[in-house]
A = this chain, B = another copy of it.
Amino acid sequence: MSNLKLVELPVVEPEAVPCCPPVTSAALSEGDSVRMAAMFKALADPVRLRLFSRVASHEGGEACVCDIQDVGVSQPTVSHHLKKLREAGLLTSERRGTWVYYRVAPEALAAMAGLLSAAR
């Protein structure tokens, strides 16, 4: 097709973040714990966590499946894991031509890091 369009795939709503004060400074609310636990669950699988780090550290801050196929699992499995990370709000995605490109959602990363940072 000559008329190339940028298509944003659905992501978790922005109001899911920002969250929350450091765990060392305040107890999590029930609602926030559900949201944050879902994010940590997305990182609770070694292959998914590696893929997340591959996207995060890739040149330009984005990667397509074509860039990160060498983690020892099949391309459909890579795609499945990337989809899970996107559904959890940890990655955003954008289709450009043949490939879908993934980026870390900075506000999700900040929410997790902030929660786990030690309050001084």
- Residue ranges of A at the interface with B (Cβ–Cβ < 8 Å): 22-28, 30, 33-34, 36-38, 40-41, 43-50, 52-54, 56-57, 61, 72, 104, 106, 109-110, 112-113, 116-118
- Contact residues of A: prevailing secondary structure: helix
Bound CA–CA A87/B118 (angstroms): 21
A33/B56 in contact, CB under 8 A = no
B27 touches A46 (CB 8 A): no
State the CA gap A57–B21 with chains docked (Å).
Answer: 10
4 closest Cβ pairs, A-B complex: A41-B44, A23-B56, A113-B116, A28-B53
- CB of A57 within 8 A of CB of B104, answer no
Asked whether A44 and B40 contact (CB < 8 A) given A116-B116, A118-B106, the answer is: yes
